Amino acid sequence: MIITGKHISRRTALKGLGATVALPFLDAMVPAGGPWAKAKARAAMDPTRLVCIEMVHGSAGSNELGASRNLWSPAEVGRSFHLAPSSLKPLEPFRDYLTLISNTDVEAAEARSAREIGGDHFRSSATFLTHAHPRQTEGSDILVGTSMDQFYAQRFGQDTPIPSMQLCIENVDQAGGCAYGYACVYTDTISWAAPDQPLPMIRDPRVVFDQLFGGGGTPAQRATRMRRERSILDWIMGELAQLQRELGPSDRHRLEQYMENIREIERRIQRIETYNSSGEMREMPEAPAGVPDSFSEHVKLMFDLQAIAFKADVTRVFSFKLGRDGSGRVYPESGVESGFHPASHHGGREKQVLEFAKINEYHVSMLPYFLENLKNMQEGDSNLLDKTMIIYGSPMGDSNLHNHKRCPLFVVGGANGQLEGGVHLSAEDGTPMANVMLGLMHKLGMDDMTSLGDSTGDFSFSV
């Protein structure tokens, strides 16, 4: 047992050959000294985690037919809503954590001059978390706005090893101009540290893993680990054994489970790399070796990395871009044979609208895996889902018309008691989505923020 009056720092890490593994929250991290000291320590160790997920190119429920069929937003407002027949059906097991906000607009993504018409694909992603209108340029004088995830990271992420991480599923490595006079960076990222500072997004799970658990290692050290095909945990076993001797039974069990989770993620990445380097035919031959060809496998692996990073408080902020507006990717598991972008241009025809709704539902169905994982991760007297705010939405509304009305948006998680969940809130016509984002920023502790992008006021989350 830990000696009375002494405790392990929250920032304690295990190290070896450039590998650095932060520890999860343990009872031994709560200092002795009575109930008041322990309560104060727990409050300091109780940050809200934030995940912002962009579902690109709108939803089938945002067009006239889809809205009449409730393909995204339920017909009922308040607490007695039904998720069927909407694309949100997969969230039914987590409805008590769900805050659904419908009927908001992203005006900042609309064309404001004749020469901007047609460039919606290349503006939308940049507006999702900034709600600022991107400057039309293919040069280096890009300008949009600071994104809400970065406002949070700058305020509450500076005492973690990594203030924030930006992840994606599809390639976003284009440079220069894309189309309609817009730089590719506007559609390549959703996170902006400043109006002219886009943050690159990481597609390769191996790169994410090494950033989380290989920090401080030199290229030579990383090459040595890869060459010997040994787990990162193999390099820190000495420190791990010493620490375990100092912990009580419950902490030992918690630490062993956490380490096994890291090892299993590492094994999965190694299996993917081995297969993709074997010479076998790949569905995505241009993708790095660490990127699975399977969409669901890729998303789940990225979610597992986010969850384990939250558990160790390596970072508290993730942004996650699930695709690209113009992607032709086919999702066989959705039951739809058409590629994503062709399916999104459904022409308002019933059959095609319903097919696009299936793709929307398939994307939403990835989320419960992450939610269940967070719910099963205990931290102190609660779980990580209770302590996390997950924002999921799109800056596009009707993808067929490229408009930005009735945009999809919901929030999942307890956000440390700031969100009650189990509610569908319908905004008044013309309400900027920025108002909702501003309200969420207030719930994240940024009460002094008076505006975000084109917001016109705070959004009320009361029923």
Count of CB atoms situated within 10 Å of the CB of 335? 11
The tokens describing 445, both together, are 């502790």
The tokens describing 221, both together, are 């050290």
The tokens describing 18, both together, are 């450039």
Q: What is the pLDDT of residues 348-404, one digit of tens each?
A: 999 999 999 999 999 999 999 999 999 999 888 899 999 999 999 999 999 999 999
> Does pLDDT of 243 surpass 90?
no
Interval 184-207 mean pLDDT: 95
Least confident of 97-111, 250-264, 318-332, 428-442: 250-264
Q: What is the pLDDT of residues 35-59, one digit of tens each?
A: 544 444 444 557 899 999 999 999 9
Most confident of 11-20, 216-225, 358-367: 358-367
Q: Edge-to-edge strands of the sheet including 165-168?
A: 165-168, 317-321, 49-54, 388-393, 409-412, 98-105, 423-432
Q: H-helix or E-strand containing 400?
A: none
> Does pLDDT of 182 surpass 90?
yes
Whether the link from the prior residue into 85 is cis, omega within 30° of 0, is yes
pLDDT at 225: 60
Residue 407 per-residue DSSP state: B
pLDDT at 43: 47
pLDDT at 175: 63
Identity at 128, one-letter amino acid code: F
CA 6 – CA 28 distance, rounded (Å)? 8
CA dihedral of 105, 108, 114, 120, whole degrees rounded to 10: -80
The full length of the chain comes to 463
> Does pLDDT of 218 surpass 70?
no
Count Cα neighbours of 298 within 13 Å in the Cβ-side half-sphere: 24
CA 402 – CA 29 distance, rounded (Å)? 51
CA 185 – CA 170 distance, rounded (Å)? 14
Give the CA distances from residue 166 to residues 65, 188, 195, 205, in Å, rounded to whole numbers and listed in that order.
35, 11, 17, 12
**Letter string b/e over residues 268-285, b meaning 16 or more CB atoms within 10 A of that residue's CB:** bbbebbeebeeeeeeebe
Interval 144-149 mean pLDDT: 98
Indicate the SS3 state at residue 122: helix
Q: What is the mean pLDDT of the chain?
A: 90
The tokens describing 183, both together, are 């730089």
Could you please report the per-residue DSSP string of 46-72? -PPEEEEEE-TT--GGGSHHHHHTTSS
pLDDT at 174: 63
pLDDT at 423: 98
Count Cα neighbours of 56 within 13 Å in the Cβ-side half-sphere: 27
CA 293 – CA 278 distance, rounded (Å)? 14
Question: Which residue ranges does the chain devote to CATH 3.40.720?
Answer: 54-203+313-463
Which residue in the block uniquely carries the two structure tokens 């956000």? 415
pTM: 0.92
Indicate the SS3 state at residue 174: coil
Segments of 367-421 assigned E as strands: 378-379, 382-383, 388-393, 409-412
Which class does domain 54-203+313-463 fall in? alpha beta
Interval 321-328 mean pLDDT: 92
Could you please report the per-residue DSSP string of 360-380? HHHHHTTHHHHHHHHHT-EET
pLDDT at 223: 63
pLDDT band at 244 (very low <50, low <70, confident <90, very high): confident
CA 126 – CA 325 distance, rounded (Å)? 12
Q: What is the pLDDT of residues 157-170, one digit of tens each?
A: 998 989 999 999 99
CB of 55 within 8 A of CB of 404? no
If you compute the radius of gyration of the chain from its CA atoms, what whole number of angstroms results? 22
CA 315 – CA 71 distance, rounded (Å)? 35
Q: Which of 367, 329, 361, 300 is nearest to 94 (CA)?
A: 367
CB of 173 within 8 A of CB of 221? no
